[in-house]
Amino acid sequence: AEPVWNPDGHALSWRAVWAYSAKRAARDAKTLTLQENRAIAVVAGEKTARTPRFVKTSNGATTLDEASLARARRLVGLKGYVTNIPAHLMSASEVIASYHDLWHVEQSFRMSKTDLRARPMFHHARDAIEAHLTIVFAALAVARYLQDATGLSIKKIIHALRPLQQITVTIAGHEHHARDPLTDTAQGILDALDIQPD
């Protein structure tokens, strides 16, 4: 029997939120069919493999675990989200939306390792490590702001802006300025950030 959560009797318990998706149901049904076929092949002796899902071994004989398969088919399309945040602080739809936004966090960690080169870290003193991470997180915040403002990835922004250079040379007391022409992409970035080139 599955445990039943009762908010009156278990005030500090974690709660589960369930969501159904037709798209997930189609994908789950396809996966279950493949797993069932693999299990049937193992039971029939057509395939040798480590015991796959839905294969039950009893007294050296293998059989198809039809009860587990039927239970899995009943749950097709459902996904559960577990949280300890009370319902009055975060509704079920907010729990699901927050979970779906996790990819932003994962993307930020990938950005910090690749685009921002947070690693490798060659520091040993605590102050140096904290300074390094502070700079990386500040750069991550700036990168996130740039992405939100421009709609471009940080890699595309860097690719568009890195080649641009501006130089001022003083010859015989006179200043001479030279700079690369702005590409359409670079101009679009500056416009999105409301920055006027000098």
56 with 42, same domain: the answer is yes
- Domain assignment of residue 10, yes or no: no
Q: Is the pLDDT higher at 198 or at 2?
A: 198
The span from the CA of 194 to the CA of 189, in Å, is 9
- Domain assignment of residue 172, yes or no: yes
pLDDT at 22: 92
How much is the average pLDDT of 141-153? 87
How much is the average pLDDT of 3-23? 75
| 136, two tokens | 């990386």
Q: What percent of the chain has pLDDT over 90?
A: 11
123 with 98, same domain: the answer is no
147 with 188, same domain: the answer is no
Domain boundary among 68, 85, 105: 105
- Domain assignment of residue 142, yes or no: yes
- Domain assignment of residue 99, yes or no: yes
- Domain assignment of residue 179, yes or no: yes
Helix (H) or strand (E) holding 80: strand 78-83
Domain that holds residue 63: 15-105
Q: Is the pLDDT higher at 30 or at 196?
A: 30
Domain total of the chain: 3
129 with 185, same domain: the answer is no
- Model confidence at 5, in pLDDT bands (50, 70, 90)? low
Instruction: State pLDDT tens for residues 66-111.
Output: 899 999 999 899 898 888 787 788 888 898 888 888 777 777 767 6
- Model confidence at 27, in pLDDT bands (50, 70, 90)? very high
- Look up tokens 């749950």; give the residue: 75
- For residue 191, pLDDT over 70 is answered with yes
86 with 22, same domain: the answer is yes
Q: What percent of the chain has pLDDT over 70?
A: 86
Q: What is the residue type of 36?
A: E
- For residue 16, pLDDT over 90 is answered with no
115 with 143, same domain: the answer is yes
- Domain assignment of residue 173, yes or no: yes
- Model confidence at 7, in pLDDT bands (50, 70, 90)? low
Cβ burial, residue 55 (10 Å; 0-12/13-18/19+): buried
- For residue 1, pLDDT over 70 is answered with no
pTM of the model: 0.46
- For residue 3, pLDDT over 60 is answered with no
101 with 113, same domain: the answer is no
Task: For 81-131, give the DSSP string.
Answer: EEE-S-TTTS-HHHHHHHHHTHHHHHHHHHHHHTTS---S----SHHHHHH
Omega into 120 within 30° of 0, i.e. cis? yes
Return left, alpha or beta for 163; rule: phi > 0 is left, psi -120 to 50 is alpha, else beta. Answer: alpha
The span from the CA of 57 to the CA of 55, in Å, is 7
- For residue 115, pLDDT over 80 is answered with no
**How many CA atoms, within 13 angstroms, populate the side-chain half-sphere of residue 14?**
8
Instruction: State pLDDT tens for residues 30-67.
Output: 999 998 998 888 888 887 767 678 888 888 788 888 89
156 with 177, same domain: the answer is no
Instruction: State pLDDT tens for residues 34-44.
Output: 989 988 888 88
- Residue 18: other Cβ atoms inside 10 A: 11
41 with 63, same domain: the answer is yes
148 with 187, same domain: the answer is no
188 with 141, same domain: the answer is no
The span from the CA of 108 to the CA of 115, in Å, is 10
115 with 167, same domain: the answer is no
